[in-house]
Amino acid sequence: MSDGPTITTIAQRAGVSIASVSRVLNGLPTKAETERRVMSAARELGYVPNSVARSLKSRRSNQLGFAMADIGNPVYLAMIREIQPVLRAAGYRLVLHSTNADTDDEIDVLRGLGERYIDGLIMIPLRVTGEHLKMFAAARAPVVVIGSVPEGTPVDNVRTDSREGVRLAVEHLHGLGRRRIGFVNGPLDTVPGAARAAAYAEAVRALGLPHDPALAEVGDFYRADGARATARLLERAPDVDALLCANDLIALGALDVLRREGRRVPQDVAVAGMDDTDLATLAWPPLTSVSLGSPERGRAAAELLLDRLASRDREPRVVTVEPRLVVRASTAGDDAPGEPPAVDASTVDTPARDVSARDGSAVGETVGDSGREAP
Amino acid sequence: MSDGPTITTIAQRAGVSIASVSRVLNGLPTKAETERRVMSAARELGYVPNSVARSLKSRRSNQLGFAMADIGNPVYLAMIREIQPVLRAAGYRLVLHSTNADTDDEIDVLRGLGERYIDGLIMIPLRVTGEHLKMFAAARAPVVVIGSVPEGTPVDNVRTDSREGVRLAVEHLHGLGRRRIGFVNGPLDTVPGAARAAAYAEAVRALGLPHDPALAEVGDFYRADGARATARLLERAPDVDALLCANDLIALGALDVLRREGRRVPQDVAVAGMDDTDLATLAWPPLTSVSLGSPERGRAAAELLLDRLASRDREPRVVTVEPRLVVRASTAGDDAPGEPPAVDASTVDTPARDVSARDGSAVGETVGDSGREAP
DNA sequence: TTGTATGCGTTATCAC
DNA sequence: GTGATAACGCATACAA
């Protein structure tokens, strides 16, 4: 319960100076006898170096931050799963920031870089404002942004081509003979929302389908919002035969509504999501989804950040992850283990894929034999 | 790009001493003129206080840790979603530790408390060894354990009664007329694995069902392992008419296998999981699951930790969260929105529940503070 | 090889 | 009120 031992404590106990203690602890050349005495004193005292003091001296916190809108979103989770081990292997701890997609919160996190409690940051802003750009430029530590930023922004950047992703999905649905392809989007003032809206319009036009505003609906990137938006869309355009959803959560909401209304998926309405999260394989029917390479983006971001920390003064880099279409039963239409239709530039996922390979559950709980609580 | 301004920089610029700067910055009484000059200098320089130096002085890092086996597990995710906002509201940052259920890693994290980079820790050990107990006793910062620990362990503790949870599920299945109730468990050398195995045996015995070892199978707490274990069980006991799975991931694996083998759920085999994660509402059919109150446990742990930080020298507390049975179609058998069978001490979940609402779930509050342990 | 002394950026305790 | 100055715990340049 005492106030943890310091190198001073050790020095006294070993009868040497604190400098010697520090040297031994850092593996610098020392006389064997000194080393022995220091080490045994340290062991006896249960010495653990104070990382705060060390950080103050070294100007490195050995911590890196990850800031996203909401930990609950499986997309971010997929990224964290990749990011964490990479950073950890490099000796960094991970500090989590949930910003609620709030711009002020994000700016605060960026300003927080000045506090020096993290050596760098991976951030996923849903909206990129002028203030963001100002903070990126003034950032006091390396920042890697996942998502698109304007050319010339002085940050490393990992992006995906969601326009191409939308095109893959729309063409897939079109290739299945669908002609009334609806789009359920998230907020248009977000980067992905705006990009996907534009991409949808473009893809539809490229296929020569008539432009019908009734086919596009906006909600938010959550399941319940997706359900509501889908309901509105169905009311306005009852003849839709396909739905592209701007992410998997929205698609789940769409499935909820379609089931409730008795429309068969995919026979009556084919449904596709985006992000290809674990949810896609869990949904029923399994959800066709555009993979935007979330794990890859997470890993790439982590590696960019580590590279940047190793050499500060190189040009900002941009890594682009190609989208892939992963076809499942929600559009393929065939439950039998036969071959789903071949799709250009796409990948076909096996239903047996273990989406939760790394998930170990079994959270602690009351021990069996002593399950009784003390009264 | 320069090396961030410090109070010294400000002092020079404002023509005052660093002490005055510190006072102004901390809102201590100062002459208006001094305050004005300091503030404007600080603003012009874009000063941000160095949290490391501040921590060294104050001996507080304003960071708290959360250590679990794997961030990818939806159970832990549910907890983090509750923990993060609570800690944040109290001014703490969250440092994440993924231990891979490795005892050595867990011990390392506990030892890390000596490094003072976190002021406290919430930990979920899958196995509790003697070394754990030793480290709990020697911990240099408050620790809250989610999961059971032996009586008298000097940590605050949040637990759930999974014995009762297993009983609820088994009785529910029995109440549906099932008499060949199988159990697919995780490793028996884990705390939850051991507890649930014992609870299953006891529940079956209490119902007067014959003890049949063929009905219990052990795998691991993952979907793929659950599938394999279920396959083995089905081969050994083809006549099972119900399956209780030790967590939701295992249950998903069981559903995979049952579907593959053409057994209808729940008509041929009723399936229930445990943990009531988001996965349960996504599965098809929606999965009956024993809620062990993960969000509540997370929140309770966070609050216990904050309380402890506020007053170090009170008795360790134990919070127990009561399990609830959440009945869905995988056992209720009826897809129509009719009334599922009434179950004692249970809750019926609506299919429309939004699993991604940030404020987690419509789960009712069942935190039962069992009060202090008898010392 | 070892010890002394200094600084990392703050806060806090003194005198003035 | 304000300004030197001493910690906080560690690493290191320099002297011995």
A303 and A317 fall within a common domain: yes
Which of A249, A359, A365 faces B195 most closely, judged by CB atoms?
Answer: A365
In this predicted model, what pLDDT tens digit does every residue of A300-351 receive, in sequence order? 999 999 999 999 989 999 999 999 999 999 998 654 333 333 333 334 333 3
- Rounded-to-integer distance, Cα B303 and Cα B349, Å: 27
Bridge partners (DSSP) listed for residue A346: A325
pLDDT class of B3 with cuts at 50, 70, 90: confident
Has residue B341 got a pLDDT over 50? no
Contact yes or no for B55 and A52 at CB 8 A: yes
Nucleotides of chain D in contact with protein CB (under 7 A) are 1-5, 7-13
Find the residue closest to D13 using CA and C1' atoms. A19
Hey, of A68, A76, A359, which one would you mutate to test binding to chain B, going by the most B CBs within 10 A of its CB? A359
Identify the DSSP state of B90. Answer: T
Hey, of B52, B86, B118, B321, which one would you mutate to test binding to chain A, going by the most A CBs within 10 A of its CB? B52
Closest Cα partner for A246 from A267, A266, A225? A225
- Print the domain residue range for B21: 7-49
Has residue B12 got a pLDDT over 80? yes
Query: Is residue B285 reached through a cis peptide bond, with omega within 30 degrees of 0 on the bond before it?
Result: yes
Interface check for B45 against chain A (CB to CB < 8 A): the answer is no
Interface check for B51 against chain A (CB to CB < 8 A): the answer is yes
Reported as type and span, the H/E element at residue A33 is: helix A32-45
Assigned token pair, B247: 């967590």
What's the whole-number mean pLDDT along residues B337-354?
36
Nucleotide minimizing C1' to CA distance for residue A11: C3
pLDDT class of B153 with cuts at 50, 70, 90: very high
Name the domain count of chain A: 3
Q: How many CB atoms lie within 10 A of CB B337?
A: 9
- Domain CATH for A22: 1.10.260.40
Distance set, CA B276 to CA A101, B199, B291, B348, B363 (Å): 27, 18, 5, 12, 10
What's the whole-number mean pLDDT along residues A350-367?
34
Query: What pLDDT was estimated at residue A353?
Result: 32
- Rounded-to-integer distance, Cα B113 and Cα B193, Å: 28
Contact yes or no for B275 and A223 at CB 8 A: no
The CA–C1' separation of A311 and D15, in angstroms, is 35
The CA–C1' separation of A63 and D11, in angstroms, is 20
Interface check for A115 against chain B (CB to CB < 8 A): the answer is yes
The CA–C1' separation of B18 and C13, in angstroms, is 14
The CA–C1' separation of B21 and D2, in angstroms, is 11
Q: Considering the domain boundaries, does residue B374 fall inside one?
A: no
Has residue A133 got a pLDDT over 60? yes
Query: What pLDDT was estimated at residue B309?
Result: 97
Identify the DSSP state of A59. Answer: T
- Contact between B139 and B166 under an 8 Å Cβ cutoff? The reply is no
Q: Tokens 């195995």: give the residue.
A: B197
Q: Considering the domain boundaries, does residue A261 fall inside one?
A: yes
Q: Tokens 């034999």: give the residue.
A: A369
With b for 16 or more beta-carbon neighbours within 10 A and e for fewer, the A63-87 pattern comes to bbbbbbbbbbbbbbbbbbbbbbbbb
Name B245's Cβ contacts closer than 8 Å, sequence gap at least 6.
B183, B184, B226, B230, B251, B253, B254, B271, B272, B273, B274
Q: Tokens 């480290």: give the residue.
A: B135
Q: Considering the domain boundaries, does residue A373 fall inside one?
A: no
- Rounded-to-integer distance, Cα B355 and Cα B202, Å: 33
Query: What pLDDT was estimated at residue A91?
Result: 97
Distance set, CA A96 to CA A67, A164, A303, B98 (Å): 6, 31, 17, 13
Which of A55, A140, A282 faces B252 most closely, judged by CB atoms?
Answer: A282
Q: Is the CB of B57 under 7 A from strand D?
A: yes
Contacts of B368 in chain A (CB under 8 A): none
Residues in chain B: 375
Q: Which of A43-47, A174-178, A359-363 has the lowest mean pLDDT?
A: A359-363
A74 and A20 fall within a common domain: no
Hey, of A284, A287, A365, which one would you mutate to test binding to chain B, going by the most B CBs within 10 A of its CB? A365
Q: Is the CB of B7 under 7 A from strand C?
A: yes
pLDDT class of B367 with cuts at 50, 70, 90: very low
**Min CA distance, A214 vs chain B (Å)?**
25
Q: Is the CB of A40 under 7 A from strand D?
A: no
Query: What pLDDT was estimated at residue A333?
Result: 61
B12 and B67 fall within a common domain: no
A313 and A261 fall within a common domain: no
Query: Is residue B187 reached through a cis peptide bond, with omega within 30 degrees of 0 on the bond before it?
Result: no
Has residue A291 got a pLDDT over 90? yes
Q: How many CB atoms lie within 10 A of CB B333?
A: 15
- Contact between B85 and B109 under an 8 Å Cβ cutoff? The reply is no
Q: Considering the domain boundaries, does residue A54 fall inside one?
A: no
B92 and B237 fall within a common domain: no
- Rounded-to-integer distance, Cα B36 and Cα B342, Å: 69
Query: What pLDDT was estimated at residue A332?
Result: 86
- Contact between A168 and A290 under an 8 Å Cβ cutoff? The reply is yes
Which of B52, B249, B356 faces A52 most closely, judged by CB atoms?
Answer: B52
Tell me the count of A-B CB pairs closer than 8 A. Answer: 256
Identify the DSSP state of A127. Answer: S
Query: What pLDDT was estimated at residue A249?
Result: 96
Has residue A79 got a pLDDT over 80? yes
In chain B, which residue's Cα lies nearest the Cα of A372? B161
In this predicted model, what pLDDT tens digit does every residue of B210-230 receive, in sequence order? 999 999 999 999 999 999 999
Which long-range contacts link A135-143 to residues 24+ away (Cβ below 8 Å)? A135/A107, A135/A110, A135/A111, A136/A110, A138/B46, A139/A110, A139/A113, A140/A113, A140/A114, A140/A116, A140/B4, A140/B48, A141/A113, A141/A116, A142/A305, A142/A308, A142/A309, A142/A312, A143/A110, A143/A113
pLDDT class of B13 with cuts at 50, 70, 90: very high
Query: What pLDDT was estimated at residue A72?
Result: 85
Nucleotide minimizing C1' to CA distance for residue B7: C9
The fraction of chain A above a pLDDT of 70, given in percent, is 88
Contact yes or no for A368 and B197 at CB 8 A: yes
Bridge partners (DSSP) listed for residue B64: B94, B120
| Helix (H), strand (E), coil (C) string for B203-240 | HHHHCCCCCCHHHEEECCCCHHHHHHHHHHHHHHCCCC
Query: What pLDDT was estimated at residue B333?
Result: 61
A99 and A15 fall within a common domain: no
Q: SS3 for B318? A: strand
Q: Which of A284-288, A330-334, B124-128 has the lowest mean pLDDT?
A: A330-334
What's the whole-number mean pLDDT along residues B134-145?
97
In this predicted model, what pLDDT tens digit does every residue of B77-111 receive, in sequence order? 999 999 999 999 999 999 999 999 899 999 999 99
Contacting B residues, span 149-208, partner chain A, CB-CB under 8 Å: 150-151, 159-163, 186-187, 190-199
pLDDT class of A368 with cuts at 50, 70, 90: very low
Closest Cα partner for B92 from B121, B71, B61? B61
Q: Tokens 């520090």: give the residue.
A: A22
Q: Considering the domain boundaries, does residue A133 fall inside one?
A: yes
Reported as type and span, the H/E element at residue A133 is: helix A130-138
Residue type at A293 in one-letter notation? G
DSSP secondary structure letters along A332-355:
H---SSSPPPP-TTEEE--TT--T
Q: Considering the domain boundaries, does residue B58 fall inside one?
A: no
Closest Cα partner for B297 from B349, B345, B368? B368
In this predicted model, what pLDDT tens digit does every residue of B162-171 receive, in sequence order? 999 999 999 9
A234 and A288 fall within a common domain: yes
What's the whole-number mean pLDDT along residues B265-282?
96
Name A192's Cβ contacts closer than 8 Å, sequence gap at least 6.
A126, A147, A162, A186, A246, A247
> What is the crossing angle of helices A294-310 and A74-89, to 10°?
30
| Arithmetic mean of pLDDT over chain A | 89
Identify the DSSP state of B1. Answer: -
A232 and A268 fall within a common domain: yes
| Cα torsion angle, B21, B26, B27, B28, sign | negative
Residue type at B264 in one-letter notation? R
- Rounded-to-integer distance, Cα A309 and Cα B136, Å: 35
- Contact between B47 and B10 under an 8 Å Cβ cutoff? The reply is yes
Q: SS3 for B274? A: strand
B232 and B337 fall within a common domain: yes
What's the whole-number mean pLDDT along residues A348-363?
35
Residue B214 has phi, psi (to 5 degrees) of -65, -20
Interface check for A140 against chain B (CB to CB < 8 A): the answer is yes
> What is the crossing angle of helices A18-25 and A7-14, to 10°?
110
A336 and A202 fall within a common domain: yes
Nucleotide minimizing C1' to CA distance for residue A30: C1
Q: Is the CB of B29 under 7 A from strand D?
A: yes
- Contact between B67 and B37 under an 8 Å Cβ cutoff? The reply is no
pLDDT class of A359 with cuts at 50, 70, 90: very low
In this predicted model, what pLDDT tens digit does every residue of B39-73 receive, in sequence order? 999 999 999 999 999 999 999 999 999 999 988 88
What's the whole-number mean pLDDT along residues A343-363?
36
In sequence order, which ranges of A219-368 are alpha helices (DSSP H)?
Answer: 223-236, 248-260, 278-282, 294-310, 329-332
Q: Considering the domain boundaries, does residue A57 fall inside one?
A: no
**Min CA distance, B70 vs chain A (Å)?**
7
Contacting B residues, span 351-370, partner chain A, CB-CB under 8 Å: 351-352, 354-358, 360, 370
Contacts of A142 in chain B (CB under 8 A): none
In sequence order, which ranges of B288-346 are alpha helices (DSSP H)?
Answer: 294-310, 329-332
Closest Cα partner for A306 from A104, A89, A32? A89
Assigned token pair, A119: 């050596």
- How many degrees, rounded to 5, is the angle at CA B96 between CA B80 and CA A7? 140
Q: Considering the domain boundaries, does residue B83 fall inside one?
A: yes
Contacts of B146 in chain A (CB under 8 A): 363-364
**Min CA distance, B87 vs chain A (Å)?**
11
What's the whole-number mean pLDDT along residues A258-287?
95
Contacts of B150 in chain A (CB under 8 A): 367, 370
Contacts of A255 in chain B (CB under 8 A): none
Has residue B353 got a pLDDT over 50? no
- Contact between B16 and B30 under an 8 Å Cβ cutoff? The reply is no
**Min CA distance, A29 vs chain B (Å)?**
24
Query: What pLDDT was estimated at residue B27?
Result: 95
B25 and B113 fall within a common domain: no
Identify the DSSP state of B372. Answer: B
Distance set, CA B344 to CA B99, B246, B324, B369 (Å): 37, 20, 10, 22
Query: What pLDDT was estimated at residue B72?
Result: 82
A151 and A180 fall within a common domain: no
- Domain CATH for A271: 3.40.50.2300
Identify the DSSP state of A187. Answer: -
Query: What pLDDT was estimated at residue B14?
Result: 97
Has residue B2 got a pLDDT over 60? no
Has residue A168 got a pLDDT over 90? yes
The CA–C1' separation of B22 and D4, in angstroms, is 14
